[in-house]
Structure 1
Amino acid sequence: MGGAAVQAETPELVIYTYDSFVSDWGPGPAVEAAFEETCDCDLIFVGAGDGAALLARLKLEGARSDADVVLGLDTSLIATAKNTGLFAPSGVSASFDLPITWRDDVFVPYDWGYFAFVHNADLAAPSNFRDLADSDLKIIIQDPRSSTPGLGLLMWIKDAYGDDAPAIWQGLSDNVVTVTKGWSEAYGLFLEGEADMVLSYTTSPAYHLIAEEDETKAAALFDEGHYMQIEVAGTLAASDQPDLAERFLTFMISDAFQSIIPTTNWMYPAVLPEAGLPEGFSSLVTPDKALLIPPQDVPALRDAALQEWLTALSR
Structure 2
Amino acid sequence: MRHTIIATGLSIFAGAAFAQTPVLTVYTYDSFVSDWGPGPAIEEAFEAQCGCDLQFVGAGDGAALLARIRLEGAQTEADVVLGLDTNLTAAARETGLFRPHGIAAEGLTLPIAWDDADFLPFDWGYFAFVHRTDLTNAPTSLEALAASDVSIVIQDPRSSTPGLGLLMWVQAAYGDRAGEIWEGLSDNIVTVTPGWSEAYGLFLEGEADMVLSYTTSPAYHLIAEEDAGFASAAFSEGHYMQVEVAGILARTDVPDLARDFMEFMISPGFQDVIPTTNWMYPATAVTLPDGFEGLTMPERALLLSPEEAAAVRDEAVATWQRALAR
TM interval, short-chain normalised:
over 0.9
Residue 189 of structure 2: aligned partner: 176
Q: In the alignment, which residue of structure 1 is the partner of 2:263? A: 250
Q: What amino acid does structure 2 have at the position aligned with 1:100?
A: I
1:5: Cα distance to partner?
A: 1.1
Deviation, structure 1 residue 95 = 2.3
In 1, are the aligned partners of 2:78 and 2:252 still within 8 Å (CA)? Answer: yes
Q: Secondary structure at the match of 2:44?
A: helix
Paired residue type of 1:120: R
Alignment of 1:1-315 (within 5 A): 1-92=12-103, 93-123=105-135, 124-273=137-286, 276-315=287-326
Q: Which runs of 5+ in 1 are unaligned?
A: none
SS in 2 for 1:227: strand
Distance in 2 separating the partners of 1:307 and 1:81:
20
Aligned residues: 313
Q: Report the Cα offset of residue 272 of structure 1.
A: 1.7
Q: What is the deviation of 1:204?
A: 0.2
For the residue of structure 2 that corresponds to 1:112, the secondary structure is strand
Residue-by-residue CA offset, 1:33-74 (whole Å, 9 max, x unaligned) = 000000000000000000000000000000100000000000
Give, in whole Å, the separation in 1 of the partners of 2:254 and 2:281. Answer: 29
The SS at the match of 2:124 is strand
Residue 136 of structure 1 deviates from its aligned partner by: 0.8
Structure 2 counterpart of 1:294, one-letter code: S
Q: Which letter maps to 2:245?
A: V
Point out the structure with max Rg over C-alpha. Answer: 2
- Could you tell me how far apart the structure 2 residues matched to 1:234 and 1:7 are? 27
TM-score (norm 1): 0.99
Percent of matched pairs sharing the same residue: 66
* 1:152-203 deviation digits (Å, cap 9, x = unpaired): 0000000000000000000000000110000000000000000000000000
In structure 2, distance between residues paired with 1:299 and 1:113: 20
Q: What secondary structure sits across from 1:45 in the alignment?
A: strand
Please provide the CA RMSD for this pair: 0.5
Q: Deviations over 1:220-274 (max 9, x none)?
A: 000000000000000000001100000000000001110010000000000022x
Moved more, 199-208 or 3-12: 3-12
Shift of 1:90: 1.0
Shift of 1:211: 0.2
Aligned partners of 2:28 and 2:62 also within 8 Å: yes
Confirm or deny: 8 A CA contact 2:107 2:285 kept in the other structure. no
- Tell me, which stretches of 5 or more residues in structure 2 are unaligned? 1-11
* CA drift at 1:300: 1.1
Kindly state the Cα deviation for residue 30 of structure 1 after the two structures are TM-superposed.
0.1
Write the distance in 1 (CA, Å) between the matches of 2:123 and 2:57. 19
